[in-house]
Amino acid sequence: MPTLKELARRPNPLTGGHSACAGCGFPQAVRLVLMSIEEPVVVAGATGCMEVTTTTYPNTAWTVPFIHNAFENAAATISGVEAAYRALRRQGKIDREIRFVAFGGDGGTYDIGLQSLSGAVERGHRFLYVCYDNQAYMNTGIQRSSATPYGASTTTSPAGEAVPGKLQRRKDLTAILAAHGIPYVAQSTIAHWQDLTRKVRRAMEVDGPAFINVLAPCRLGWGTDPAMTVRMAELAAETCAWPLFEVDHGQWHVTYVPKQKLPVEEYLRPQERFRHVFQDKSGQLLAAIQRDVDEQWEALLAKAGQAVDGKAASRA
Amino acid sequence: MATTEAYRITERRRVTMTGAEATAEAMRQIHPDVVAAYPITPQTDIVMRFARFVADGVVQTEFVPVESEHSALSAVVGASAAGARAMTATSGPGFALMHEILYVAAGYRLPIVMPVANRALSGPINIHGDHSDTMGSRDAGWIHLYAENAQEAYDDLIQAVRIAEHPEVRVPVLVGQDGFIITHGMEIVEVLTDDEVRAFVGEYRPERYLLDVDHPMTVGALALQNSYFEVKRQLAEAVRRSARIIADVGEEFGRLTGRYYGLTEPYRMEDAELVIVAIGSTAGTAKDVIDELRGRGVKAGLVKVRVFRPFPARNLRDLLGRARAVAVLDRADSYAGLGGPLFAETKAALYGLPQAPVMTGYVYGLGGRDITPEMIAAVYDDLGQLAERARADHAAVAAEAALSVRYLGVRER
């Protein structure tokens, strides 16, 4: 494993000067992922914050080959790129190892892009799909997505007198990808650089599709201080609201078990999108969110064959 | 390999085949690097034949059997930007599902070639041939070629590669053929040798491509108010420029095969007074009708529009300028627009001519409804009467006819 210093010395795939918000989570996701890959890489990106803020013509922040096609088809696009690579390599027109990565936000991945992603991994293209999940359609004005967690207030699931924010659980996309039976699936955050870089390297080793879901907080949509972005991702893992795990050739492993699982309140309280949760004097909404987090965490531990009391050792 | 040898064509042959079969054969001979496709009637016959070529090792093409037409074109955009010669094929609703990505492919100036088995669009669902699909995306920035028969479907596809990849063009090209009528109709097709096709299309050498990792580039950047308009204007210029390239390629193909191609194909137009303008297989039927009418002294003629984008306005002005009455036949409606797309644009092309003919429009054949020689003969009858009436008051008759669209072969009650 390279140290953080060594990683930082690698050529930067995404230069400064892009126009993402201060404290935005996705640039860390992109840099950590791409700096973990030693081979030359070609990147596809879905429409979204990342594409808009890094490729405003005549500028580009990408120092690696990058293609944006549309919102819902990053996976189909990269499968075409990968197919071209196979064809040209077989003809001897290209004679080096190249790796392929697609990035999409949660809207372009959980929702409109799910068919394209499902199709591409089913076909077995060798590529890594990274979802930078900030849990809503942030670029277009913070609308709910199927990744938005239960109880969060967004502009299309606003918390009001009658409806307390989003009424549905977030879609478990990582499990859906695992159900495709592809070689490698994982979940991480931008705060856990060692965990994430190790997972990316594993994804590069496997011969076939890989998927990593990376929690990348959005300070604008979440209503958090820009300086708190990384801390928010940490708190997501410490409260088990966003567990870190991997499914390596069908084997589930929880890769981070907090020494002491924090109450979900500690993660929710700094976020404006959950403000109404704390204005609810009955405490029922908070209790429902806590119950949901606990249930999902325990179900995950059970799948991984790890003890429900959380004492099992972390694999990482 | 024995199977590979069995497919190889080393001498020109005249073979009985369908349009779909001829198209698949052209694809085999073009030998693209990547083909991504999703099956849809009546295109399926093309991709399943091509999949067989892949399975038998006859082609080294990377075949990507995607989960939708949207992904088919998306993957082909990726492959083409990556530096591969890439193709797909589709039909009707599949083409409609690609609509968004048609613009991406054109805007990125990717030389993609795509056969389209023209098919009606829902609802109600109908799997048969009309031009509603490609006409619905006529403004996506693609070059449109339309075949009259299986031979042309074959010939056009081979030429499309050269047109799309020409350095002064670099625009995707679609080749339409009427669903079932051409895709599934058996005809005699002259097939070139593999070597002839390979030599004609040449090797694809893109200047810049994604897999050239030492020279990274960003494809598909965000273009705002300061640049988007220029990109689209340049696309329009490229499509306009392609008219000359299409003619040059058609001429070169003619020298190789004896079959010369232009933007339009005039038939018995030297002294024609009553003229039909049509696209696709209907042009073939019209030719037979014209031969018969000519035997009876009727000065009938036809202009087949082979290339719909770039629209051959100048050719149409030259060809139709001396006619007395013109009927434009559309296999697509624009539902209370100023006639079907071909009628509306043909009228526009002739606007301002001092001696413009009287023009009228017909919509026919929606959902694969037959168009018979009798119907076409009836159109020439109508034209004769229209021309007579116009003798008395040309301006009034022309003005009325320009707004009239009739439905040919539809039950009116």
pLDDT band at A316 (very low <50, low <70, confident <90, very high): very low
Q: What is the pLDDT of residue B412?
A: 77
Within an 8 Å CB–CB cutoff, is residue A81 touching chain B?
yes
Q: Which residue of B has its CA nearest to A45?
A: B220
pLDDT band at A3 (very low <50, low <70, confident <90, very high): confident
Within an 8 Å CB–CB cutoff, is residue B76 touching chain A?
yes
Q: What is the pLDDT of residue B189?
A: 98
Domains plus CATH for chain B? Answer: 4-257 (3.40.50.970), 264-408 (3.40.50.920)
Q: Which residue of B has its CA nearest to A113?
A: B71
Asked whether the predicted pLDDT for residue B270 surpasses 90, the reply is yes
Residues B210-235 have a mean pLDDT of 98
Measured between beta carbons, the chain A residues lying within 8 angstroms of B232 are: none
Asked whether the predicted pLDDT for residue B19 surpasses 90, the reply is yes
User: Which residues, in sequence order, are CB contacts of A152 under 8 Å at separation 6+?
Assistant: A135, A136, A144, A165, A166, A273, A274
Q: What is the pLDDT of residue B297?
A: 97
pLDDT tens, A13-25? Answer: 999 999 999 999 9
pLDDT tens, A237-296? Answer: 999 999 999 999 999 999 999 999 999 999 999 999 999 999 999 999 999 999 999 999
Residues A205-232 have a mean pLDDT of 98
pLDDT band at A310 (very low <50, low <70, confident <90, very high): very low
Asked whether the predicted pLDDT for residue A315 surpasses 90, the reply is no
**B-proximal residues of A, 32-71, CB under 8 Å:** 40-42, 44, 51-52, 55-58, 60, 62-70
Determine, for residues B211 and A76 on separate chains, whether the beta-carbon distance falls below 8 Å.
Answer: no
Higher-pLDDT residue of A185 and B412 is A185
8 A C-beta contact, residue A55 and residue B218 = yes
High-pLDDT (> 70) share of chain A, %: 97
Determine, for residues B217 and A65 on separate chains, whether the beta-carbon distance falls below 8 Å.
Answer: yes
Q: Kindly compute the dihedral angle of the four CA atoms of residues A279, A284, A289, A292, in this order, to the nearest 10 degrees.
A: 180
Q: Kindly compute the dihedral angle of the four CA atoms of residues A102, A105, A111, A117, in this order, to the nearest 10 degrees.
A: 10
Residues A212-221 have a mean pLDDT of 98
Residues A17-36 have a mean pLDDT of 96
Residues B235-258 have a mean pLDDT of 98
Q: Is B245 exposed, middle or buried (0-12, 13-18, 19+ CB in 10 A)?
A: buried
SS3 A180: coil
Q: What is the pLDDT of residue B406?
A: 96
- A65 closest CB neighbour out of B65, B210, B222: B210
8 A C-beta contact, residue B325 and residue B273 = yes
Q: Is B217 exposed, middle or buried (0-12, 13-18, 19+ CB in 10 A)?
A: middle
Q: What is the pLDDT of residue A202?
A: 98
pLDDT tens, B57-116? Answer: 999 999 999 999 999 999 999 999 999 999 999 999 999 999 999 999 999 999 999 999
Distances (CA, A) of B238 to A14, B209, B244: 33, 20, 11
- B82 closest CB neighbour out of A70, A73, A80: A80
Q: What is the pLDDT of residue B84?
A: 98
Q: What is the pLDDT of residue A44?
A: 98
Q: Which residue of B has its CA nearest to A118?
A: B67
**B-proximal residues of A, 156-175, CB under 8 Å:** none
Asked whether the predicted pLDDT for residue A314 surpasses 70, the reply is no
- A80 closest CB neighbour out of B64, B67, B220: B64
Reported as type and span, the H/E element at residue B90 is strand B90-91
DSSP state letters, A235-286: HHHHTTSS-EEEEETTEEEEEE--SSPPPTHHHHTT-GGGHHHHH-TT-HHH
Residues B167-186 have a mean pLDDT of 98
Measured between beta carbons, the chain B residues lying within 8 angstroms of A58 are: 221, 227
Residue-averaged pLDDT of chain B: 97
Residues B6-34 have a mean pLDDT of 97
8 A C-beta contact, residue A159 and residue A276 = yes
Asked whether the predicted pLDDT for residue B2 surpasses 70, the reply is no
Residues A49-66 have a mean pLDDT of 97
Q: How far is A115 from chain B (nearest CA, A)?
A: 8
Within an 8 Å CB–CB cutoff, is residue B303 touching chain A?
no
